[in-house]
Amino acid sequence: MRVHAKALARLWTDRCSVYLKAKATDPKTNLTGFSEQLRAEGVPCRLSFKSLAASGGSPAATVSQQTVLFLAPEVEVPPGCRIVVHRGGSPEKELVFARSGLPGVYPDHQEIPLEPFRGYA
CATH number at residue 79: 2.40.10
In a domain, 18, yes or no: yes
In a domain, 121, yes or no: no
Structural domain that includes position 41? 3-116
Q: Tell me, what's the pLDDT at 29?
A: 87
Q: Please give the Cα distance from 96 to 117 (Å, whole number).
A: 6
DSSP code for 73:
T
pTM: 0.78
Helix or strand run (H / E) with residue 8: helix 3-11
The number of distinct structural domains making up the chain is 1
pLDDT tens for the chain, 121 residues long, are: 578 778 888 889 999 999 988 888 888 888 888 888 999 999 999 999 887 766 566 666 676 778 999 999 999 988 888 999 999 867 778 999 987 778 889 999 999 999 888 776 6
DSSP code for 93:
S
CB 72 within 8 A of CB 111: no
